[in-house]
Every structure is written in structure tokens, then in C-alpha cells.
Amino acid sequence: MESLAELRERRAFECRLTPDRALGSLDEAGAFARGRGLLTRTTDSALPSLYEACHEEPYQAGRAGFAAWPATKWSWFGALIERGLLCVGIHRGKNLLVSQEIASLLDPICRAEIDRMRGGDPGWRRLLDHLAAAGPSHIEDLRTGLSLKRQELKAMRSPLERCGAIVARSAEVTAGQGDAHSSELARWDQVYPGSPEGRRADPGAALGDLLVAAVGAAVVAPEPELRRWFSWQWYWTGALVDDLVRAGRLRRVDGHVAAR
């Protein structure tokens, strides 16, 4: 069994945490994303980060927000979405790139969230049912169809995105003589068809599967951090990590957790 020091050394290599492992092309970034399975945009946890793996100077040093993104590689996050990766807000509201393999683990949870949230609030139900009838829709079309102000729609969609019930995607819309960028909202079941087995799976068990995959992507992570990776605290039981350790799917190493 690897020691914590050995796991950290492997993590530095596999998650490209050193400058000599910097991503050199968009093709490399795509292979990295699919190999890890899930990537945050910026560094905020032990989960692998796309921008951290770029090792590029920020657009404006010393500034926060967009200015801290890589000077020339900031667009790679969006480019990877165009290449087939999904972008979801399930990382406590932050964007997370996921591969098709990880999407299959998310599927039972996100479908359960559609049902749970339809029953949890009349506004959520209205938006989810509108998308079910109309299909994926641009923001302005939704505002018109639902007679909502901009802030009203934002407040309605935010918790739905955070829980994976809906997915926001960038879209181009015709605006006068040119094109403008907007967002398109879709229900999870409209962007990922899933499988009959996935639709029947228990969301609590699926969260365990997702956690094992996420720990594998990070290689090693502080155990207290795991519970903060995803939004669904209501599927988390106090014994979740213990159960995964007993099943031999995770192991504890000096206050950290690694995948078997």
C-alpha cells in the first residue's frame, strides 16, 4: 500500500500539479479531463483543476475573479464543453466538467433531484415542467414564456442547477446584425438520456459510486473535505465513508482517503 507521501507524489503527477506537467494543448486538456473524469475550473479543493494544470500566468496578476484565470488558456473550459464534456453546477454551485462515464454515475441522482424539486416548490415545478414541454430553452424565451423578471428566473434556476436538475449551456442567439452569447437551460434528462438501469438506481448508492470516482480523480484527499464536494447532503449518511472503507472501495491514510 502506498504511503501518504507516495500518494501525494502520484497526485502531483496525475493531476499535473507541477510546471513540468503543464497542459500544452487543447487536445492534451481533453485527454486530461477524460482521464480524470471530472475537473473543477479553478483550484478550490483536492479535486483536479483545469486551470491549475495549465500553469499559465493570470490575465491580470494580483486581481481576483476572471482576471485570475490563465491569460490565454481561459477559453479551454468552454472549448472542452464543445468537445463533448458536460458542465454541471453540482460542486456546491460551482462549475464542474464531467466525462460521460461520470455522467452515468450522476444520472440516478440528477433524475431523483428532478422529482424531489418538482415537489418541493411551485416555482421549481413550473420551470421544470415548462422545460419538459418546450425542450431546452434560451433564457430570454424562458423569461417571456414564464412571465418572469431576470432576477426572478435567476433565483428560480440557481438551486435547480446546484442540484443537477437542470443544466445551463452557453448558446449563440441572433441579435440585430450579429450574434450574442446567452444561456440555454435544459433538464438533466434532456442533456443525458441515461439507461434503464441508471433510472432505477438508488441515488444514495449512486452518491457512493460518485464519491469513489471523485477520490480516484483526486488520487488522495483530506477526509473532512469529501462531504463538501457535492451539493446533495440529504443523500449523505454519517456512515457513507465508513461503508465504502469496509467494502474495500476506499482506504484511510493518515487523515486522508484514497481509492483502492
> pLDDT tens for residues 53-62?
999 998 888 7
Whether the pLDDT of residue 205 is over 60: the answer is: yes
Name the DSSP letter for residue 175: E
Q: Binning pLDDT at 50, 70 and 90, where does residue 7 land?
A: very high
Range 221-236 burial, b when 16+ CB lie within 10 A, else e: bebeebeebbbbeebb
Segment holding 81, helix H or strand E: helix 76-82
The pLDDT of 120-144, averaged and rounded, is 95
The pLDDT of 207-224, averaged and rounded, is 97
The mean pLDDT of the chain is: 92
The pLDDT of 90-112, averaged and rounded, is 95
Segment holding 253, helix H or strand E: strand 250-253
Distance CA 79, CA 65 (A): 20
pLDDT the model gives residue 25: 97
Nearest to 213 by CA among 84, 85, 98, 87: 98
Share of the chain above pLDDT 70, in %: 94
**CA distance to 57, 146, 172, 186, per residue, from 139 (Å):** 34, 10, 11, 10
Amino acid identity, position 133? A
Q: Binning pLDDT at 50, 70 and 90, where does residue 198 land?
A: low
- The whole-model pTM stands at 0.91
Share of the chain above pLDDT 90, in %: 85
Kindly report the CA angle at 157 between 186 and 44, in degrees rounded to 5? 95
Question: Higher model confidence: residue 120 or residue 197?
Answer: 120
The pLDDT of 84-90, averaged and rounded, is 96
Q: Binning pLDDT at 50, 70 and 90, where does residue 181 land?
A: low
Whether the pLDDT of residue 197 is over 80: the answer is: no
pLDDT the model gives residue 226: 96
The pLDDT of 28-44, averaged and rounded, is 97
Range name among 10-24, 138-152, 167-181 with the lowest pLDDT average:
167-181
The pLDDT of 7-15, averaged and rounded, is 98
Q: Binning pLDDT at 50, 70 and 90, where does residue 65 land?
A: confident
